[in-house]
Structure 1
Amino acid sequence: MQEHREIQYIVVSFSHRHIDIAMREKLAFGEEERLAFLRALCEHSAIKEAMLLSTCNRVEVYASVLEAKAARECILQNLESFKQIPLEQLRSLANIRLNQYAIYHTFSVASSLDSLVVGETQITGQLKDAYRFAYENLLCGKDLTRLVHYAFRCAAQVRNSVDISSSHTSVAGAAVHMLTLRLKERGESLDSKQVAVLGAGEMGVLALKHLAKHDVRLTLINRNIQNAQKMLENLTEEIGRKVEIAPFSQLQGIIDRADVLVSATGAPHSVISAEMIRPSAHRRVWFDLAVPRDIEEVQVENLEIYRIDDLQEIIAQTKLQREENAKDGYKIVEQCTQEFFKWLQTLSVDPIIKHMRALAKDSSLKELDRAIKKGFLPSEYRQNVEKILHSAFNTFLHKPTMRIKEAGESINSDPMIEAIKSIFDINDEIVMLNKYKCEEYLARSQNTKNPKEP
């Protein structure tokens, strides 16, 4: 029989808090590579389930594991293999969180408290996509489903209870705000400028929404014209203006003419090479919001190129107020983390089975004592009858016990376990394994780096 080992949660994180854009670029995953990477992780005996979140600001592995140190080494070694980054360098850069710290971090990410722009809502969709990808490819099940669903509940509670928004609570919003400031410094405005957006993904859509608030001439460049048209049809009310759609084949001419370019594709490599960036008599401002970067490094007269990490100045302007409000958000995350662990503990089948057996034993002994008291059974037979009763209820409970243990491994086990608890009148206090305190992590979370060793 296979030895039962308790499930643990682990997060291996590389984020904007301690990794620059060049390293995040090296760590970024495309869809096919992501699938191969996750499959390699889940083949290891220490890892049960895994999902990968790869965005412009973070690359993070979320996993349920049977042995933390072996799982950590497996994740780092596979990152070394897939990304050709030395293992020792990965060890020095990774933030590794285990169990309550992993849960707290996951809830903070889902609630956008750990984002470059605190309060941005893009991360929720990105986390949902990461989970959906892993689930549809059979790389995660019960453990990560519980974690992610509870994380979304926590995020909704933070959103509804705490004001952590601002006028530019997204990277795209911060870029447009920075653009208006730069133009204002040289006595210009964004109005009447010719603006091009490269990419019709989520970041490109956000950029269009912010740019459409100004009187600009907008051009959307995308490889798939039909996808771009469909996206714009869904945004007619929000954008409220005509946006010209151009095929990728016209990219060169558009970037030569446009005053402003916002590039946010999901390409695994640069799409605007140094050779494509020609000198121009008019001043141009470009924003590269992609990771990996869309635009190659180049120095050209009359051209300013800003990357994601350059937006810190704009983000910092409202950072203090948002951080003050975010403290209340972290309190909610702390509370949700405690509740999640308590809920997990009530779903453990072992204490439920133990309590069912205790109920059967107590009932048998009460009836035995009653039979002896009423004279139905001589007291000298008590020990032998007790053994018979013990054997009888063990035989009776054997199959139900096996079925409950099997059900406990199913992704649909939670409603069944709750039903069993209700039928046998087993309350949560009975099955609580231990109490969890999160205050220590809340104190540590104020630091950029957290303990790396599980």
Structure 2
Amino acid sequence: MAVPSAFAGPKLENIFLGNASHNGVVFCKPRKAVFPRNSTSLRCEQQQLQTTNDNVIVDNSTKTPSSSSLSALQQLKSSAADRYTKERSSIVVIGLSIHTTPVEMREKLAIPEAEWPRAISELCSLNHIEEAAVLSTCNRMEIYVVALSQHRGVKEVTEWMSKTSGVPASDLCEHRFLLYNNDATQHIFEVSAGLDSLVLGEGQILAQVKQVVKVGQGVVGFGRNISGLFKHAITVGKRVRSELNIASGAVSVSSAAVELALMKLPKTSHSTARMLLIGAGKMGKLVIKHLAAKGCTKMVVVNRSEERVTAIREELHGIEIIYKPLTDMLAAAAEADVIFTSTASETPLFLKEHVADLPPVGSDVGSVRLFVDISVPRNVGSCIKELETARVYNVDDLKEVVSANKEDRLRKAKEAQTIIAEESKQFAAWRDSLETVPTIKKLRAYAERIRLAELDKCLSRMGDDVTKKTKKAADDLSRGIVNKLLHGPMQHLRCDGSDSRTLTETLENMHALNRMFSLEAEISVLEQKVRAKVEQNQKCASQGAVSTTLSLVVVNILVILKPCCLYWLPPCCQEDNIRGDDVLKQVNHIIFIANASSVPERQSLMVANIRLL
């Protein structure tokens, strides 16, 4: 059972005042406490306090009433304690990316797509995690969660990552990055827009974010907040690409080579031009992929061995790749309109005399054979430029294209930040609107109870011979009346940025409805969530008598001490830079553990949590 904080306050005052009525008492905090915002900071610098017969605390030095002490205590009971239990859950991202983490560690942490649902379920089984999502790619491993407590949630997720990957938690902490709420929102929006990728604006990451949503559908832990975050991120990614066209322009040598060749060819010949690639190494493979992405469905590849060409052919389905040995290079060049060279040869493969003997190309490709050389040292001699039937482009020519495109993308990336900031505000407004969801549910439940009670009275008065049709008509009538009456209040409880109603107005409406219909919950929403998490993880139905007694003792002690948490902090808390309200959060959590956990869980969890206090 959870004892209300209102019970603890008077009990605590009686203890203090009762002792003070007999002797002068020195109340002194060992160290400075951190108070919540908008609260009066109180310090006790060895002030000796005593009470009068009227139980009013007075200062020995001034002998004047000090009502501020009592008012601060009342303020603590009425606001500071509730501040924790009514605090909204936080969106947190725990990430390791190519910018911060070596590939050796990322590959150990990587989670296959098929395992994402299992990972979400395991993450949501942690005590302080409500919702979760996994974004695992070759460049990043990021876990997004909705946490009841930022500090505890991060600790639990880090321990889970260490356990599942085998990487020590200390190594994870060294390379990870942590972002909360608005920063976490901005990060996933930038990721979806391609601003956090190695190649600025690349489109593959947007498809991967979409896949997170697709896989998460139907998974219990992929809840409203996380689902809404990723869906909004997809909208941002689409908007940045459509409005700014940030993905246009090649920013790598291989993509620039393909883009330059297509720029020099007539547009009508892009799908019919005969492509030849000399070399099937890493750069050659990238050229083949970029050609395929541009719509080229047939090409010839000259290489020393056929194994690499076969592997590329198996990887790229729907593309006709014809292998030719190196001895057939000149014969293959005679039948090609565009020739890409990408080999490690230290001597030129094509010289003026070789190209001069090649048959001319058709007028449909401009009557000029194109050589695009991305090799260093160069595979194509510069002397070929003297021929009117050929054009040669090397790495230096491509670098100019890449540099210009990079500058253009950086400029567009700055413009994209404006879009991201705008969309972040909209998402924050949508998430703020969720604050009223509990009130909406309680108001509907309240109205439904009244409707059913009145409907039962009506049907009982009509006798037992009422037909099903009449019952259904009465039920529909009552539902229609209730829905129409609730329509107005419900509209004023919604604030998703789609109208001019501000969040402040919406929250004022919510509090007004809570007062009018007595909808205030006896325990707060977050308190219910914590209790639900503990009950969800409960494994033992039976509880021993000794354990039950321990629970009651701990509960009563902590409930009594709960209002003191902001007035006195243990030295260990100050050394660890723990805020007073953080200690208060821990007290609440221990109370729930003592009440609802099973025996084994209680022993381990309470020992771990009480260490903070």
2:321 paired residue number = 243
Partner SS for 1:71: helix
What one-letter code is carried by the residue in structure 2 that aligns with 1:10? V
| Contact 2:300–2:321 under 8 Å retained in 1 | no
Q: Distance in 2 between matches of 1:47 and 1:204?
A: 45
1:78 paired residue number = 160
| Contact 2:299–2:320 under 8 Å retained in 1 | no
Per-residue deviation, 1:12: 1.1
Q: Distance in 1 between matches of 2:105 and 2:182?
A: 27
| Contact 1:196–1:221 under 8 Å retained in 2 | no
1:192 paired residue number = 277
1:38 aligns with 2:120: yes
| Contact 2:250–2:405 under 8 Å retained in 1 | no
TM-score, normalised by the number of residues in structure 2 = 0.41
Q: Distance in 2 between matches of 1:420 and 1:175?
A: 62
Q: Distance in 2 between matches of 1:214 and 1:166?
A: 24
Per-residue deviation, 1:355: 12
Q: Which of 175, 200, 217 is the equivalent residue of 2:301?
A: 217
- List aligned pairs for 1:322-337, cutoff 5 A: 322-337=409-424
Q: Which of 332, 338, 342 is the equivalent residue of 2:429?
A: 342
Q: Distance in 2 between matches of 1:17 and 1:325?
A: 21
2:224 paired residue number = 142
Indicate the structure (1 or 2) with the bigger Cα radius of gyration.
2
Partner SS for 1:139: coil
Q: Distance in 2 between matches of 1:176 and 1:102?
A: 32
Q: Provide the aligned C-alpha RMSD in A.
A: 4.9
1:159 paired residue number = 241
- List aligned pairs for 1:364-403, cutoff 5 A: 396=447
Q: Distance in 2 between matches of 1:41 and 1:256?
A: 55
Q: Distance in 2 between matches of 1:61 and 1:313?
A: 39
- List aligned pairs for 1:293-332, cutoff 5 A: 318-332=405-419
| Contact 2:116–2:215 under 8 Å retained in 1 | no
**Percent of aligned pairs sharing the same letter:** 22
Name structure 1 gaps, 5 residues minimum: 182-189, 233-240, 246-253, 260-281, 285-301, 303-311, 358-393, 401-416, 436-453
Per-residue deviation, 1:71: 1.5
Q: Distance in 1 between matches of 2:404 and 2:153?
A: 40
1:133 paired residue number = 215
| Shift in CA distance, 244/139, structure 1 to aligned 2, threshold 3 Å | farther
What one-letter code is carried by the residue in structure 1 that aligns with 2:277? S
Q: Distance in 2 between matches of 1:88 and 1:203?
A: 41
| Shift in CA distance, 334/321, structure 1 to aligned 2, threshold 3 Å | same
Partner SS for 1:117: coil
| Contact 1:104–1:334 under 8 Å retained in 2 | yes
Per-residue deviation, 1:105: 0.6
Per-residue deviation, 1:175: 5.0
Q: Which of 481, 503, 510 is the equivalent residue of 1:432?
A: 503
For residues 156-187 of structure 1, give each alpha carbon's deviation from its aligned partner in whole angstroms, at most 9, with x where no partner exists: 22122224224336xxx665558999xxxxxx
Partner SS for 1:120: coil
Per-residue deviation, 1:87: 0.9
1:23 aligns with 2:105: yes
What one-letter code is carried by the residue in structure 2 that aligns with 1:320? E
1:366 paired residue number = none
- List aligned pairs for 1:53-68, cutoff 5 A: 53-68=135-150
Per-residue deviation, 1:138: 3.4
Per-residue deviation, 1:127: 0.9
2:24 paired residue number = none
| Contact 2:95–2:141 under 8 Å retained in 1 | yes
Q: Distance in 2 between matches of 1:341 and 1:355?
A: 24
| Contact 1:49–1:140 under 8 Å retained in 2 | yes
Partner SS for 2:227: helix
| Contact 1:348–1:431 under 8 Å retained in 2 | no
What one-letter code is carried by the residue in structure 2 that aligns with 1:324? R
Mean Cα deviation higher: 315-324 or 73-82 = 315-324
Partner SS for 2:143: strand
Q: Which of 117, 120, 133 is the equivalent residue of 2:202?
A: 120
- List aligned pairs for 1:5-24, cutoff 5 A: 6-24=88-106
| Contact 1:37–1:82 under 8 Å retained in 2 | no
What one-letter code is carried by the residue in structure 2 that aligns with 1:73? K
Per-residue deviation, 1:136: 4.2
Partner SS for 1:62: strand
Q: Distance in 1 between matches of 2:110 and 2:287?
A: 16
| Contact 1:50–1:63 under 8 Å retained in 2 | yes
For residues 228-273 of structure 1, give each alpha carbon's deviation from its aligned partner in whole angstroms, at most 9, with x where no partner exists: 68x52xxxxxxxx62369xxxxxxxx9999x9xxxxxxxxxxxxxx
Partner SS for 1:347: helix
Partner SS for 2:199: coil
2:181 paired residue number = 99
Q: Distance in 2 between matches of 1:140 and 1:116?
A: 28
| Shift in CA distance, 166/332, structure 1 to aligned 2, threshold 3 Å | same
| Shift in CA distance, 433/110, structure 1 to aligned 2, threshold 3 Å | farther
Q: Distance in 2 between matches of 1:82 and 1:141?
A: 23
Q: Distance in 1 between matches of 2:221 and 2:427?
A: 22
Q: Distance in 2 between matches of 1:19 and 1:328?
A: 28
| Shift in CA distance, 313/28, structure 1 to aligned 2, threshold 3 Å | farther
Per-residue deviation, 1:214: 9.5
Q: Which of 163, 168, 171 is the equivalent residue of 2:250?
A: 168
What one-letter code is carried by the residue in structure 1 that aligns with 2:234? F
Q: Distance in 1 between matches of 2:102 and 2:123?
A: 25
| Shift in CA distance, 48/222, structure 1 to aligned 2, threshold 3 Å | farther
1:442 paired residue number = none
| Contact 2:209–2:234 under 8 Å retained in 1 | no
Q: Distance in 2 between matches of 1:434 and 1:314?
A: 54
2:361 paired residue number = none
Q: Distance in 2 between matches of 1:204 and 1:126?
A: 23
| Contact 1:195–1:216 under 8 Å retained in 2 | no
| Contact 2:300–2:322 under 8 Å retained in 1 | no
2:72 paired residue number = none
- List aligned pairs for 1:398-409, cutoff 5 A: none
What one-letter code is carried by the residue in structure 2 that aligns with 1:148? F
| Contact 2:95–2:176 under 8 Å retained in 1 | yes
| Shift in CA distance, 256/203, structure 1 to aligned 2, threshold 3 Å | closer
For residues 25-48 of structure 1, give each alpha carbon's deviation from its aligned partner in whole angstroms, at most 9, with x where no partner exists: 333222455444333212112112
What one-letter code is carried by the residue in structure 2 that aligns with 1:322? R
Q: Distance in 2 between matches of 1:21 and 1:211?
A: 32
For residues 74-109 of structure 1, give each alpha carbon's deviation from its aligned partner in whole angstroms, at most 9, with x where no partner exists: 221111112222211211211111111111111111
